[in-house]
Amino acid sequence: MLLIECPYCGERPELEFTYGGEAHLVRPTRPAELDDQAWSEFLYTRANVKGVHAERWRHARGCGRFFNALRDTRTDRFLAFYRAGEPRPKAGS
Amino acid sequence: MTAEKRSFRTANGGRVDRSQRLRFRFDGRAYEGVAGDTLASALLANGVHLAGRSFKYHRPRGILAAGSEEPNALVTVSRDPARVTPNLRATQVELYDGLVAESQNRWPSLATDLGRINDWLSPLFPAGFYYKTFMWPRTAWKSVYEPFIRRAAGLGNAPKLPDPDRYAHRYAHCDVLVVGAGPAGLAAALAAAESGARVMICDETAELGGSLLADCGPLINGRPAPEWARQSVATLAAQRRVTLLPRTTAFGYFPHNLIALSERLTDHLAVPPARMPRERLWQVRARTVVLATGAIERPLVFPGNDRPGILLAAAAQTYLNRFGVRVGSSCVVVTADDAAYQTALDLHSAGTAVPAIADLRAEAAGVLPEAARRAGIEVVAGSTVLDTHGDLRVSGITLGRVRGGEVQPAGRRIECDTVLMSGGLTPSVHLFSQSRGQLIWDESLKAFVPGRPAERTLCAGACRGIYDLMAVLEDGAEAGSAAAAETRGAGTADSAPPRRSFLVETQTRSHGAHAGELPQPRTRSRSKALVDWQHDVTVRDIALATREGFQSIEHVKRYTTTGMATDQGKTSNLNALGLVAESLGTAIPQVGLTTFRMPYTPVSFGSLAGVSRGDLFDPVRTTPTHAWAEQRGAVFENVGLWKRARYFPRPGEDMHAAVARECLAVRGACGIFDASTLGKIEVVGRDAAEFLHRMYVNNWTNLAVGRARYGVLLREDGFIYDDGVIARLAADRFHVTTTTGGAPRVLAMMEDYRQTEWPDLDVWLTSTTEQWAVIAVQGPHARRVLETLVEDVDIGAAALPHMAVARGRIRGVPMLLFRVSFTGDLGFEINVPADFGLSVWEAVHAAGQAHGMTEYGTEAMHVLRAEKGYIIVGQDTDGTVTPDDAGLTWAIGKNKADFVGKRSLDRPSMKSPNRKQLVGLRTKDPRIVLEEGAQITDKPGQSPPMALLGHVTSSYRSSVLGASIALGVIAGGRARMGQTLYVPMPGGDIEVEVTGPVFYDPSGARLNV
């Protein structure tokens, strides 16, 4: 069970959180203007990195807030936790 | 019956209390042991070695080891019919007065086991025999072969009764968790505690001290090793910040230093206190973990190496020095290592004859071999073992000599009743490997040792290949200080703790190790040479596997099952690796290493489950009218965690009769239904309408206050996610209902968009599911019933039309009243605060009696909605259904630029006319009710495989129509109206006609009254 640091509440065990997939994917403001290829990439294409991954977590059984984390998918080690809307930190990128 | 006459208990010494005699039974026979014994030591004290039968060949087996690595002596211990624990290692079962144990996998008795025939027929059962043998006929797989294999090859039997014991769970945090309380672990814990860290130290045995308790020779700081251990434990126990956990196995190493410990609390007690849990599962989050897990002695592989009376040398030393038990009267020692010499010397002074020490090494020189020679023991260097003799107990050994790499064919037979073997030590790297730490091969130790760790892990002592006592103690102390320093966050360079030194007086030993089989002459003995004792894997099996092309150890392991028994190959893995490497002509690191997995030793299901069983297995959610429905004899169904009344049978009624009566009552008069489980979310804020406008397909900005609308929610990929009625209670306040099961995921999805896509919107989401009791009153008489009950609200057709919502009071209780229908008849849903739910329900039910009101359950609700073609998300949809597929295009707001999922609906595949579309299905024979999930095809009389058009999603008997009805999804279904299709079933094809999905009152006349 991972130890996750909610930027609002502090370190908590993984079972208080839900996973939210890749971070920094912004929903297009005008989806209608995207062609099918671009929309399908937004929907389905993910980086699926082996290495440092920026991902979303939600402290679902705590404060309920979404936030982002950098995790090395090879080791499960977290490099940074930061609030939604903040830029991806430099660490490990 | 008395115990065996002959006792192998020594007169004094060891950690047992000879004055406390304990009676126990093994296989029905009475024996006596003493306090401090394990079942294994007590059996050996009585001269009993034969303790089990092997898994596959039913070979007689003795006690091999003294700890958790024991592969042979698996026993069943029972206290009563419900408290039966199979597959316990006798070496870990602590003796108590009255203990009852049975051996396993034998019939009719341990000494005479008919299963032994497998041993003599063993040429028929080589590795992988079941892949080759039990192939045909296929029909026999389940009925003949599997039951046969399961009975023939086996371990103990689980009890049939529920487990009456209690199991506890506990979470803990500490700075330093020390796993293993041998010399390294104790030194680490002492050092860490001294620096003020919160320390936990656990050990799988009853007494902390590990190998120190089995070795009386060395002096530590002037005191005998066991005495130093005792004092160290006392020092630790006196400190408030230290937690000592004996009888506690660290069995799993999880990410971010979470360690699972299994603590056994009562299994060693003759009369366990009634209130005490039997086991406690600890989940410990440690800043730093110090692994001091020690090393396990490696058996030697030679023909006939598995007879009862053949033990690991270190085990014999433990039995002698810790338990005061000599393992035999005459004992030949075979060794690749100096440590076994000490055992031989100890046994020799305790009165056991040692006819010979056969050393595998070409030279047997050094302090210990010299001491053995001085004691008059014959030491034979350059030895090998050609065979052993005896059946239920070893009676002799034939030693061979290796000269210039060649094994001389002639052997020398020595009579003995015990053989001790030592192939050197294998560091216990199980937990380190579980933590994903890297293992590296150490050629001088012939073992894998910890390399780069993946977590904050420090290894100390024998588990990293450090074997000399002084070095082990220093290593432990250093690891303990470093762990504590890491916790304080101090830099390691400037605050390096003073190096702790220990004054240890002991014999110097040289260490050797052997992996693989001992050298054999060209014509070798026919006796089996075991590699994996517990799974009966022999040298021949490994050779067969490599001959058949299995080269990776992962493949050899699965083909031969070596290392896959409950002992996880603690004694076998390295010998198997050695054999594979030898037969492939490569080095062990090239063969690879199998992955270590948790649990280190078996953990009971009770311990893992804890209190989560029976009533506490899952929370149960009940509605405010639950008790009322129970009194009425309702039959309940589980919907998620909810208990919902499914139907209310009257005397003599089955489900069909009850549901038919309930449906007809709703259609003919009125019914009352508890809809409290509906998910409810209050959406509040200046931008509430805009938020819903973006989330749901419908138009929300034009919804007037006091009106409601049926909403459809899509995922971004365009498929239906949820649906429900949404009412506007005020300009900035909406009451959203969701499906019963969908409430949490809808709220989570809304929160996701609110927080991460549109944080600029002023909107708040609150789950109100459990705040409201929802009482549905449905049917033509519904208004007449409510008119007598409601206050401050006009419920007339003009004031409160279909899809209107109003506030008012009912019997004095504030109420939110919806004019909605999930039946197609006139309907209301009364929302009152949950605490008033039952009293309002009873008032409505009482008032309704004059109007033919009947309570109905979810089954009737399903039939009534299906008669109207109303879908249930998750039943008629499955995550691949678009609004158009479900016939819900009308719900999509006109001219909306965007909503979640809208863009996806424009993708070409989402607009194909051949998509599966929701239609109605009428069987040609109205008495036949289709099976939900049944497939649909367009040609009769086919046999599989055949082209399928779709499937039945909902199917019921409709009493108001006097016929069966069904909904289904069918490719291009709306273009097939009137077509005849076929539902192939085992009894033949069922003819169906495709219709519209609305079977009852298609004009909606009954709704708008």
Alpha-carbon span A86 to A67, nearest angstrom: 9
Question: In this predicted structure, what is the pLDDT of residue B191?
Answer: 97
A82 — contact with chain B (CB < 8 Å)? Answer: no
Q: Kindly write down the DSSP assignment for every residue of A5-71, as one continuous string.
A: EETTTEEEEGGG-EEEEES--PPPS-GGGS-HHHHHHHHH-----SSEEEEEEE-TTTT--EEEEEE
In chain A, what residues touch B896 (CB-CB under 8 Å)? none
B897 — contact with chain A (CB < 8 Å)? Answer: yes
Closest Cβ–Cβ partner in B717, B751, B898 for A31: B898
A2 — contact with chain B (CB < 8 Å)? Answer: yes
Question: In this predicted structure, what is the pLDDT of residue B140?
Answer: 75
B285 — contact with chain A (CB < 8 Å)? Answer: yes
Taking 80 as the threshold, does the pLDDT of residue B14 lie above it?
yes
Extract the tokens encoding B189.
């814990």
Extract the tokens encoding B537.
């894997």
Alpha-carbon span B832 to B791, nearest angstrom: 13
**What is the reported pTM?**
0.91
Alpha-carbon span B319 to B238, nearest angstrom: 30
A85 — contact with chain B (CB < 8 Å)? Answer: yes
Residue B353 DSSP one-character state: B
Its sign, for the CA torsion B950, B956, B959, B962, is positive
Mean pLDDT along residues B739-768:
97
pLDDT bin (cut points 50, 70, 90) of residue A19 is very high
Condensed to tens digits (0 to 9), the pLDDT of residues B456-479 reads 999 999 999 999 999 999 999 999
Question: In this predicted structure, what is the pLDDT of residue B498?
Answer: 62
Distances (CA, A) of A93 to A80, A88, B112, B709: 11, 9, 68, 48
Would you call A66 and B897 a contact, using CB atoms and an 8 Å cutoff? no
Question: In this predicted structure, what is the pLDDT of residue B490?
Answer: 53
Which residues face B235 on adjacent strands? Answer: none
Mean pLDDT along residues B366-393:
96
Distances (CA, A) of B539 to B420, B452, B468, B958: 20, 33, 32, 70
In chain B, what residues touch A1 (CB-CB under 8 Å)? 254-256, 258, 283
Residue B898 is which amino acid? Answer: D
Condensed to tens digits (0 to 9), the pLDDT of residues B506-554 reads 888 888 899 999 999 988 999 999 999 999 999 999 999 999 999 889 9
In terms of residues, how long is chain A?
93
Burial call B173-204: b when 16+ CB within 10 Å, e when fewer: ebbbbbbbbbbbbbbbbbbbbbbebbbbbbbb
Would you call B898 and A32 a contact, using CB atoms and an 8 Å cutoff? yes
Mean pLDDT along residues B91-95:
98
Do residues B754 and B656 make contact, with C-beta atoms less than 8 angstroms apart? no
Extract the tokens encoding B783.
């208004």
Do residues B682 and B794 make contact, with C-beta atoms less than 8 angstroms apart? no
Taking 60 as the threshold, does the pLDDT of residue B773 lie above it?
yes
Alpha-carbon span B230 to B236, nearest angstrom: 10
Would you call B256 and A76 a contact, using CB atoms and an 8 Å cutoff? yes
In chain A, what residues touch B258 (CB-CB under 8 Å)? 1, 3, 13
Would you call A1 and B254 a contact, using CB atoms and an 8 Å cutoff? yes
Closest Cβ–Cβ partner in A13, A26, A39 for B903: A39
Q: How far is A10 from chain B (nearest CA, A)?
A: 15
pLDDT averaged over chain B?
Answer: 94
Question: In this predicted structure, what is the pLDDT of residue B3?
Answer: 40
Closest Cα to residue B294, out of B218, B183, B199?
B183
Lowest-pLDDT choice from B498-502, B770-774, B941-945: B498-502
Query: Roughly how many angstroms between the first and final C-alpha of chain B, as a whole number?
Result: 91
Question: In this predicted structure, what is the pLDDT of residue B952?
Answer: 98
Taking 60 as the threshold, does the pLDDT of residue B450 lie above it?
yes
B925 — contact with chain A (CB < 8 Å)? Answer: no
In chain B, what residues touch A27 (CB-CB under 8 Å)? 716, 757
Question: In this predicted structure, what is the pLDDT of residue B144?
Answer: 76
pLDDT bin (cut points 50, 70, 90) of residue B154 is low
Condensed to tens digits (0 to 9), the pLDDT of residues B601-633 reads 999 999 999 999 998 999 999 999 999 999 999
Mean pLDDT along residues B228-249:
97
Closest Cβ–Cβ partner in B716, B748, B903 for A34: B903
Closest Cβ–Cβ partner in A18, A32, A43 for B717: A43
Would you call A75 and B759 a contact, using CB atoms and an 8 Å cutoff? no
In chain B, what residues touch A32 (CB-CB under 8 Å)? 897-898, 902-903, 906
Would you call A84 and B755 a contact, using CB atoms and an 8 Å cutoff? yes
Coil, strand or helix at B959: coil
In B600-687, beta strands by DSSP E: 635-639, 642-647, 670-674, 679-684
Question: In this predicted structure, what is the pLDDT of residue B1?
Answer: 38
In chain A, what residues touch B283 (CB-CB under 8 Å)? 1
Residue A92 DSSP one-character state: T
Q: How far is B708 from chain A (nearest CA, A)?
A: 28
B911 — contact with chain A (CB < 8 Å)? Answer: no
Task: For chains A and B, count residue pairs whose Cβ atoms are closer than 8 Å.
Answer: 60
Closest Cα to residue B706, out of B628, B841, B567, B819?
B819
Tell which B residues from 169 to 228 touch A, by Cβ distance under 8 Å. Answer: none
B751 — contact with chain A (CB < 8 Å)? Answer: yes
Taking 50 as the threshold, does the pLDDT of residue B4 lie above it?
no
Closest Cβ–Cβ partner in B285, B716, B898 for A3: B285
Question: In this predicted structure, what is the pLDDT of residue B153?
Answer: 63
Residue B755 DSSP one-character state: I
Mean pLDDT along residues B753-769:
97
Alpha-carbon span B736 to B913, nearest angstrom: 32
Condensed to tens digits (0 to 9), the pLDDT of residues B569-583 reads 999 999 999 999 999
Which residues face B820 on adjacent strands? Answer: none
Question: In this predicted structure, what is the pLDDT of residue B494?
Answer: 47
Query: What CA dihedral angle connects B375, B381, B386 and B390, to 10 degrees?
Result: 10
pLDDT bin (cut points 50, 70, 90) of residue B754 is very high
A30 — contact with chain B (CB < 8 Å)? Answer: yes
Would you call B898 and A18 a contact, using CB atoms and an 8 Å cutoff? no
Closest Cα to residue A58, out of A3, A14, A1?
A14
Coil, strand or helix at B35: strand
Cα B606 to chain centroid, rounded: 11
Would you call A39 and B897 a contact, using CB atoms and an 8 Å cutoff? no
Closest chain B CA to residue A26: B757
Mean pLDDT along residues B684-689:
98
Tell which B residues from 446 to 505 touch A, by Cβ distance under 8 Å. Answer: 454
Q: What percent of chain B has pLDDT over 90?
A: 88
A35 — contact with chain B (CB < 8 Å)? Answer: no
Sequence-distant contacts of B576-580: CB under 8 A, at least 24 apart: B576/B531, B576/B532, B576/B537, B576/B542, B577/B515, B577/B553, B578/B446, B578/B514, B578/B515, B578/B516, B578/B517, B579/B301, B579/B516, B579/B517, B579/B531, B579/B539, B579/B542, B579/B543, B580/B542, B580/B545, B580/B546, B580/B551, B580/B553, B580/B556
Query: What CA dihedral angle connects B106, B110, B111 and B112, to 10 degrees?
Result: -30
Extract the tokens encoding B947.
């082209």
Question: In this predicted structure, what is the pLDDT of residue B443?
Answer: 93
Strand order in the sheet with B504-505: B223-224, B219-220, B504-505
Interface test with B, best of A4, A11, A27, A30 (most B CBs within 10 A): A27
In B366-431, beta strands by DSSP E: 379-380, 383-390, 394-403, 406-407, 412-415, 418-422, 425-427
Closest Cβ–Cβ partner in A3, A27, A39 for B757: A27
Cα B7 to chain centroid, rounded: 43
Taking 90 as the threshold, does the pLDDT of residue B398 lie above it?
yes
Taking 90 as the threshold, does the pLDDT of residue B317 lie above it?
yes
